[in-house]
Each structure stands twice: as structure tokens, then as C-alpha cells.
Amino acid sequence: MRIEVLVDLKTRLGESPLWDVEQQRLYWVDSQDGRVFSCNAQGTAIKSWDVRQKIGSMALRQNGEGAVVALAHGVHLLDFASGELELLHNPEADKPHNRLNDGKVDRQGRFLFGSMDMREEEPSGALYRLDADLTLHTLERNIICSNAPCWSPSGETFYFADTWTGEIRAWDYDTATGNLSRERVFCKVDRSEGGAADGATVDSEGCLWNALVYAGKLVRYTPDGEVDRIIDMPVKKVTSVMFGGENLDVLYVTSMAQPPLPRFPEDNQLRGSLFAIYGLGITGVPERRFAG
């Protein structure tokens, strides 16, 4: 196994890595600066888009050249050619201290994303589902900081974390309707070094990989919620993970250069880099595009 810096852009808050198997390109965002980035597997041919708001997550669209983006003030469609944004829904317009955060697409092409209190104190956030017909549905409420949405390889189990609870939770996921049921604790997160659950993905063996932000670790959990492997990263503020590359065997890891709140720790000179981990001997699951 080896860890390399793939792209050094010093993103203030790198997040939401997404490997697109059709284009063989990696996408990720700078949440604080409001930018979307894309590069090839070698970390070159970089493209970028300015969305002019804080951005929590994104997903490529199946229909058209663009993406659906969860911005601070609502979920939008982003046209890559023009850079124009089209507002679909702003479900928390009455909550000035909230913004939209982490999100991913289920195996059927729906976009699930959550929101967060930017002070990371109040349970004012929620979890939403955007269907292919562009209708919006609220799935959960009373969330402080939405993170780690992902699915088992079959798509029948949904994982999600409210970061500061110290847990990653699981639900049965109805693949026909996109509804959740039978909520339970998937695992307890080891917070002894000050870390907390951030972005996550699931590999082809059904294990969940989670970025333990502020502790500089990646943790692999078995489908039973047991810790299987821990990887120490070169920086403390790792934020999210995604498998990609030609054979889906490279683990991409985003990080932040500047903590969002003063109480969070600083980091070394590699902060904000996009990392690639090679030689894990593990493959990921192809990500779907948003069906809308």
C-alpha cells in the first residue's frame, strides 16, 4: 500500500469525491470556497466550476451534461457548459444557520443529501431525497451534521452519520420507493483521539470505509460493524473517501486546509490535498448518476 498526493490544490474544505466510470474522471468539491473540481486518474486535466455558494455535495446527471449540487441555499442543477445554476428546492430557507451537506446517489438514481447547523451545535438539520422527477422528500429530522451517506452493494442497507453522535447508523432501504425503515446503530466511532465520522463509501465486499476527521484515520468496518482495518493518513483533517480508477481499486481521499470553526485543530503542509491510496487489494462499487 502507498499513499500519494494526487492533486495539491489546498482546498479549504475538500469533500464529496466522486468517481465517474463513464468518463473515467474524479470529481470533488471545496465546500467552503464553493467550487467543483474534476481531474483524470493521474490528477491532471483539471477542470473547475464556481458555484458561488458553499457546497456540500454533488452528483453527476444521467440526463444532460451537468450535475445536481447541494448548495448552502438549496439543491440546484449545474450546467457544466454554461456554469449556470437552476434552483430546484430550498427546503431550509427559514434556517439561516443551516446549509446543505453530504449526499450521494442510490442504486436506482435518487439523490439523498442532508443538512447541518454550521455552528455544529443544534439538531436543526434533516435528511432529504430528491427523486428523478425532481420532487423532494424529507426522510429524517433533528440532525446536527449530516455525513457518510452510502449503501450496501445490493442497495438494501443505507448508512448515515450525524457526526457528533459518535455513531454510524443503518436502515433497511426500500429500493422501490427510497423509504427508510428499521433504524439501528451500525457501529460506534472511536472518538478517543478527537475524531468524528465524516464521509464514507462501501467497497465490493460490503465493508464501509469512513474518514475519521480530525484524527487523520480511515476506518474500514465489516458489514457487522466491526473494525477491520485502520489507515493512518499524512494529515489529520481527512474528510471523505471514494474508490475509483480504471479498476475501481484506488481509494481517493479528500482533506481540508482550513477548519470551519476555530475550535478545530490546524494541520501540516499537506492539508487540503487530494490523496490517492494504491495497492489495497480492494475494489469499490460503481457510483450511479442522478436519474433526473
| Residue 229: pLDDT over 70 | yes
- Please write the tens of the pLDDT for every residue from 170-215: 999 999 999 999 999 999 999 988 899 999 999 999 999 999 999 9
Domain 2-278 - what CATH class?
A: mainly beta
Tens of pLDDT, residue by residue over 13-46, are 999 999 999 999 999 999 999 999 999 999 999 9
Q: Which amino acid would we find at residue 208?
A: L
Q: What is the pLDDT of residue 174?
A: 98
Nearest Cα to Cα of residue 100 among 110, 109, 87: 87
User: Each residue of 51-92: pLDDT tens digit?
Assistant: 999 999 999 999 878 999 999 999 999 999 999 999 999 999
Question: Largest Cα–Cα distance of the chain, in whole Å?
Answer: 47
Confidence of residue 262 (pLDDT cuts 50, 70, 90): low
Q: What angle do CA 29, 30, 36 make, to 5 degrees?
A: 40
